[in-house]
Structure 1
Amino acid sequence: MRYRRKYIVLFTLVVMNLIDQPAPEVKIAQGTLSGKMSADGTVFEYIGIPYASTNSSTRFQAPGPPPSWEGVYNAVDEIYVCAQNSFIGVIGSEDCLKINVYVPAMPKTKPLAVMVYIHGGAFYLGSGSKTLHGPGFLTKKDVILVTFNYRLGALGFICLNIKEAPGNAGLKDQIAALKWVQKNIAAFGGDPDNVTVFGESAGATSVSLLLASEASTGLFKRAIVQSGSSLSNWVINRNPVWIASLLVKSLGHTTEDPNEIYKILSKLSYKELTVITTKKPIGLFFDTQILHLPCIETNIPGTEPVLTDLPYNIFKSRPNDIEVLYGTTSKEGYFLVALETEESVKERNGRYLFASDLTFSSEFEAMNEAEKVKEFYFGKDEISLQKHLNITDLYTQLYFEIPVIFETEFLVNRIKSGVYNYIFNYSGARNFMKTRSGYSDHEGACHADDIFYLFDGYLMPFRINNDDSRIIEYMTSMWTNFAKYGNPTPDSSDLPVKWTPSTKDNLNFLYIDSELKMGSMPNPESYRLWKEIYKNYYKTDLA
């Protein structure tokens, strides 16, 4: 009988672990929510809450208000993804504006700091799901984590500068999510006056754009920008109507009339719109092939723009005065080189090694500057995959490291709030992107490697070794300290370093490796090269 009782107890425990345990109900403006408890019992999870609405009738525009409901909304479903292409075809839907709230399952004596994460994916891939962005590492540090989806690709970033398609719908989704947090997070035990927005890659670029936007005023207190900057040459679509004309041309239509383009695209199903692929003609400039990017909007009655000027001009004259933490990985470019072929690399010979965010008085002047860049990175050799590590450095510095430093310089010269900088150089078992790119035996950290030390997503379900565990502890402590106090290493911290903010007289960098140490700017020679070029040739208007 004793053995039978023991069996019944064990069986009950197994069954309980297979069934979602409910989290406390929460009443928000839309109605009452129920969630579930995480498998380990440490987190209350509220997943797939609609924070705004969109459908084919409001396509390319700012989202509408979120729906309300009667009864209890069961917020446990992770199936929601915004429409995007994948190896199995189009996944997701147009009605995808869902938000996830992760709350530490412990008694609270005061409202918790809130961290709102914007996912990356080059503005055409990704989601806020736990595949990559599991909450456990961060919520252990007594903060509330919020993740969400926003519209991607053509659905999020068609920009025709007309009322029906003013541009930046995906960024307007992000603003709607932040407004939802302000309105509702207190019901979950969060502090709406202590919200930190953070993101990586396109998510970091989005954070940088929100820093430059008046439309986001008052929606967050601090920002963390990981491997992205709105000053990067791949961020702003400077000719969005032309890009949209390439889309409709691939469908058999020849027009650059915004209204005609809108009529064509608005009649397509979201799946038809998502699968349209075309290529920009390869010119002399080293422009990205990403089609759908944020744009500079015109002032249209009845719409609220995100940006009406280039971020460069805004940061140079009137940046928001809030605390910001910026960083890049040491070898961002590994993942881009992995996508190259010998043919695609050789195409760069004889062309400029910078994008059309620069302007020159003549082709001779441009080619002369391009030759300086080529010689700096490749010497007298041709550009080829034999020089793949040199290409890695070019991509790392041109696309990520240098723009972040430029943005930092604008801020430290114009604001009073603290600005912190880091370089993530650690290489461990969780450096997923470096391994996937084929560079696991090389030094440094690839683009996006750092996020696997902040999130315990499904993609990395493996046992965590001691070295990686220490880096996770360092990273999550510093990120959540910054979110709580505006200082990643406050006096109460027991971390083995004091992170010194940058100033207008000296940029200070925390190097995150097996050990933490403060240092000076990385790669000062490349900084001087690009600083001179951008000082002399940056194109400050869209004409």
Structure 2
Amino acid sequence: MIKVEITDGILEGTEEKNKYGGSYFSFKGIPYAEPPLGDLRFKAPQKPKPWKGVRPAKEFGPICYQYDVYNKKIHGSEDCLYLNVYTPELKPTKPVPVMFWIHGGGLINGSGNDDLYGPEFLVRQNVILVTINYRLEVLGFLCLHTKDVPGNAGIKDQVAALRWVNKNIERFGGDPDNVTIFGESAGGACVSFHCMSPMSKGLFKRAIIQSGIATCWLPNVFQPRERALVLARDLGCDSDNETDIIEFFKSQPIENLINKQIKLTLMENIKEYPCVSFGIVSEKEFPGIERYFHGDIYDVLRKGIHEDIEVMNGYTEDEGIIFLAGNCDLPKIYEQSNNCLEYFVPKPIEINCPLTIQMEVGTRFKKFYFGQQKVSSDTLDQFVKYVSADNFIYPSILWQKIVAKRNKNELFFYKFNCKSERNIFTQLMGIPDLFKDQTVVCHGDDLPYIFPVKIFEQNISMDSEAFKMIDKVTKLWTNFAKYGDPTPDNTLGVKWSPYTRKEENYIIIEQFLTASKAPDSSTFDFWESIFKEFYPHVAV
């Protein structure tokens, strides 16, 4: 029997054969906080209660109640605060570096389970992998700016899981002083917030930010309290009394609190474009309540991230394709973007600048990306480039440049461009027809090079070109986790030099690694010029 004793009790796990070599030990469904039920709904996570005897850790814990975009069904539970530990050795001669994964999904869906995030590729590189579930959407990110519902419960769940790792990972052979947090999409944005939050300080040594960042407009929710009040009215609460509203939300059946799009402005309601209704907020201060984040994101970032951490940051070649998924109405996009110049206005300018400025900004963006052409199926590639820059390229490089300016952290930057049969996210998201004649590197297409994707798994030969790329990518990620340097020796053929203010070094990750400088500089420079002229608070 495979047993480990942690601070809360004894766990029984399993030893699993890794079809890519060796074996590993698996411990699933470990509670890292009390179930957030009843009066604990919307509140920060509480420490879990110890158990007596041996707790089986052979099955995943429930995931947060959600609409599953891959399986097109509603499932999960409000009792969802569980994590999983996969370790190559339980009693190594030297403690093993730890990689702590934060899943993406727009803060709306996803989990740490192995349908997308299996451990096999990473543990063969001799690291421990920890994956987690956390509260999502309304359950995780409702904010009333009150002591009972201050906001950010879902990202405080992540902090609780990190604290659990710091306290317990030694029992699994891990090194609590060498923890790397990493995440993709909304998970990447969360990682970048942890780099700034006082609650997260000291809980990790390194961070990898994949295709999502705190300076992206999506996770930064505009007017969170007002959105919560709109939701309350939509669900039938007519009271203006604070206590009544909180009790109303606590009494709602869970199915009323998922798949909710609260579009606050006329533009949000009309515009065919992604909108996050519940996300990370600037919290108000209340006695006895830990505050995860406070302040304007750009002001906080300019004061610096935690000085004792190293960070790797980047994005994929064709990020914006993801926004063509699901129920995206392309004819409506074409109509709006051709007839309304405000369509091409980034969120910070949309909510802070008058319409006359928005019209001028929209004119410049449309000319930069489309010239005299119309937005149509013939220019869809240009539309994808605009969406990629709006949500990923400009915010990611902006974050990197602001942090590099202080010269307090070792930074690395990459652009992911691996192409093989592993690039499956256009198929997973239901948009293959638009790109059936080409292999693209969509948002999320980096993930199958880091994790086996069980829900769409292929039989992959270890002699294939795709597996060689998997081996290369996982070496880069785990080298960074082990040493703070993705290329500590010459085995990968290229030296990945740090990104600095003077030397904007980065690596293009594809079949072969290519060192370069100033990623997407023409795109960044154009966006930066717009913000400097019309809303300089955002610019570097």
Q: Do they fold alike, i.e. is TM over 0.5?
A: yes
Q: CA deviation at 1:443?
A: 4.9
Residue 32 (structure 1) shift: 0.8
State the distance in 1 between where 2:26 and 2:88 align: 9
Structure-2 separation of matches of 1:441 and 1:257: 57
Q: Are 1:526 and 2:523 an aligned pair?
A: yes
- Cross-structure match for 2:476: 478
| One-letter amino acid of the structure 2 residue matched with residue 377 of structure 1 | Y
Q: Give the Cα–Cα distance (whole angstroms) in 2 for the partners of residues 276 and 524 of structure 1.
A: 37
Root-mean-square deviation over aligned CA pairs: 2.1
Report the CA distance between 1:539 and its aligned residue: 8.0
**Correspondence for 2:306:** 320
Q: How far apart are the structure 1 equivalents of 2:536 and 2:80?
A: 36
Given that residues 145 and 151 in structure 2 are in contact (C-alpha distance below 8 angstroms), is that contact kept between their aligned partners in structure 1? yes
Distance 2:63 2:207 in 1: 25
Q: Secondary structure at the residue paired with 1:229?
A: coil
> Paired residue for 1:31?
9
The secondary structure found in structure 2 opposite 1:113 is: strand
Name the counterpart of 2:223: 239
Unaligned runs of 5+ in 1: 1-21
Give the Å deviation of 1:360.
5.3
Greater mean alpha carbon deviation, residues 210-219 or residues 38-47: 38-47
Q: Partners of 2:436 and 2:121 in 1: how far apart?
A: 24
User: 1:329 aligned to 316, 336, 358, which one?
Assistant: 316
Q: Determine the structure 1 residue equivalent to 2:152.
A: 168
Which ranges of 4 or more aligned residues in structure 1 deviate by more than 6 Å? Answer: 284-287
Aligned-partner Cα distance in 1 for 2:66–2:234 = 18
Paired position in structure 2 for 1:431: 423
Specify whether residues 385 and 254 from structure 1 end up closer, same or farther in structure 2 by C-alpha distance, changes over 3 A only. farther
1:67 and 2:49 are equivalent in the alignment: yes
Q: Distance in 2 between matches of 1:205 and 1:471?
A: 25
Alpha carbons 2:185, 2:210 under 8 Å: kept? yes
CA distance 1:428–1:205, change in 2 (3 Å)? same
| Aligned residue pair count | 518
Q: Percent identity?
A: 36
- Given candidates 55, 60, 65, the residue that maps to 2:37 is 55
Q: Which of the residues 195, 207, 220 maps onto 1:223?
A: 207
Task: From 469, 490, 498, give the equivalent of 2:488.
Answer: 490
- Return the letter of the residue paired with 2:445: D
Residue of structure 2 equivalent to 1:9: none
Q: How does 1:18-167 map to 2 (within 5 A)?
A: 22=1, 24-40=2-18, 42-53=23-34, 54-86=36-68, 89-105=73-89, 108-167=92-151
Rounded Cα–Cα distance in structure 1 between residues aligned with 2:449 and 2:483: 21
Counterpart of 2:345 in structure 1 is: 354
Structure 2: tracts of 5 or more residues without a match: none
1:295 equivalent to 2:295? Answer: no
Structure 2 counterpart of 1:452, one-letter code: P
The structure-2 alpha-carbon separation of the partners of 1:225 and 1:276, relative to structure 1 and needing over 3 Å to count, comes to closer
| Matches of 1:361 and 1:480, distance apart in 2 | 44
SS in 2 for 1:518: strand
The 1:538–1:171 alpha-carbon spacing in structure 2 relative to 1, beyond 3 Å, is: farther
Query: After superposition, where does 1:449-528 map in structure 2 within 5 Å?
Result: 449-465=445-461, 466-491=464-489, 493-528=490-525
Relative to structure 1, the CA distance from residue 118 to residue 277 in structure 2 (aligned partners, 3 Å threshold; closer, same or farther) is same
Structure 1: distance between partners of 2:514 and 2:334: 36
Structure 1 residue 515, shift from structure 2 partner: 1.0
Structure 1 Cα separation of the partners of residues 187 and 37 of structure 2: 23
Query: Following the alignment from structure 1 to structure 2, what is the Cα–Cα distance between the partners of residues 345 and 209?
Result: 34
> Cα distance 1:402–1:277, how it changes in 2: closer, same or farther (>3 A)?
closer
What's the TM-score once normalised by structure 1's chain length?
A: 0.91
Amino acid at match of 2:335: K
User: 1:381 offset after TM fit, Å?
Assistant: 3.0
Distance change in 2, residues 1:539/1:504 (3 Å): closer
TM-score by length of structure 2 reads: 0.91
Q: Secondary structure at the match of 2:406?
A: coil
Query: Could you say what secondary structure the match of 2:195 adopts?
Result: helix
Q: In the alignment, which of 395, 410, 420 is matched to residue 412 of structure 2? A: 420
Larger radius of gyration: 1
The 1:505/1:464 distance shift into structure 2, 3 A limit, reads same
The 1-side partners of 2:468 and 2:533 are apart by 44
SS in 2 for 1:219: coil
Asked if the contact 2:90–2:171 (Cα under 8 Å) also holds between the matched residues in 1, the reply is no
Q: Distance in 1 between matches of 2:506 and 2:165?
A: 32
TM-superposed deviation, 1:471: 0.6
Q: Which amino acid in structure 2 is aligned with residue 511 of structure 1?
A: I
Contact 2:66 2:74 in 1 (8 A): yes
Deviation at 1:313, TM superposition (A): 1.2
2:125 alignment partner, SS class: coil
Question: Is the 1:36–1:46 contact (alpha carbons within 8 Å) kept by the matching residues of 2?
Answer: yes
**Which piece of structure 1 moves more, 432-441 or 106-115?**
432-441
AA at the equivalent of 1:186: E
Q: Distance in 1 between matches of 2:39 and 2:533?
A: 45
Residue identity in the other structure for 2:231: L
Amino acid at match of 1:408: Q
- Report the CA distance shift for 1:470/1:205 in structure 2 as closer, same or farther (over 3 A): same
Cα shift at 1:264:
2.1
Q: Distance in 2 between matches of 1:150 and 1:134?
A: 17
* 3-state secondary structure, aligned to 2:113: coil
